[in-house]
Amino acid sequence: METVEFLVCPDMHGRDFWRPLLQYEGNIVCLGDYTDPYPAEGFTQEDCLNNLQELIDFKKANSERVTLIIGNHDFHYFSLIYAAARFSAQHYKQFKALFVENKELFQIAKQIGNYFFTHAGVIFDWYYEQKRYFEVLGDTLEEQLNAAFYEKRHIYNEMSFYRGGKMWMSGSPIWADKNEIVNCKPLGIDIIQVVGHNRFPHERTQPIKCGKYIFTDNQKLWLFKDGEITEFTG
């Protein structure tokens, strides 16, 4: 049986826990939210800019094995019309330049084996509301979601009331909330979704598994190997 091994880096927000991944030589998936630090944590937007530039350089040097997913806090720097929580108008031009000038390095979705990565998760209601459109964009879910970012970007701004939305019943793969995921119908595809976005206590020693979803956002790097998940510290 083929070994499936990869390293997952959840939401960074200017933090430095991610740095050991620079020493890892296998497949790496960063789940987005490189920007907009939490004020109480002591990190700054300048920390975010520096981290993001370093990650971009790392991706360029390792393009085949490093995936940079787009999170909701990154999405609003592609265009200020999507500005949401903790958006920095002061740093907008700097972040936009990094994202737009390197847009080919970022994506909405990635699949490795039967593991599927987005920032927040693909949920049944959101996908099937758009399915007729997606079917003309690609044969696989990964192709469809990535193509839609360029063909129909505004659909990724859809969020439910769990995340402050008022117009939509469900959230996109950058905005879906854990409460939607817990109650959603099965997507109907044989994949295990690995997501960030929904924080859980830093002290917890394992990601949270919920059906076909695995939540990873607690400021740790996670090594997936043959179905086992362990913390990676370098």
φ, ψ for residue 232 (rounded to 5)? -110, 125
Question: Tens digit of pLDDT for each residue in 65-95?
Answer: 999 999 999 999 999 999 999 999 999 999 9
Which tokens belong to 174? Answer: 């950058």
Residue 2 confidence class, pLDDT cut points 50, 70, 90: low
Question: Tens digit of pLDDT for each residue in 111-163?
Answer: 999 999 999 999 999 999 888 889 899 999 999 999 999 999 999 999 999 99
The per-residue pLDDT for 131 is 86
Residue 184 confidence class, pLDDT cut points 50, 70, 90: confident
Residue position matching structure tokens 């690995």: 194
Superfamily assignment of 5-232 in CATH? Metallo-dependent phosphatases (3.60.21.10)
The per-residue pLDDT for 1 is 45
State yes or no: pLDDT of 108 exceeds 70.
yes
Distances in Å between the Cα of 227 and the Cα atoms of 5, 6, 115, 119, 196 are 9, 11, 10, 20, 18
How far apart CA 7 and CA 31 sit, in angstroms, is 11
Question: Tens digit of pLDDT for each residue in 152-164?
Answer: 999 999 999 999 8
CA angle 14, 18, 20 (to 5 degrees): 145
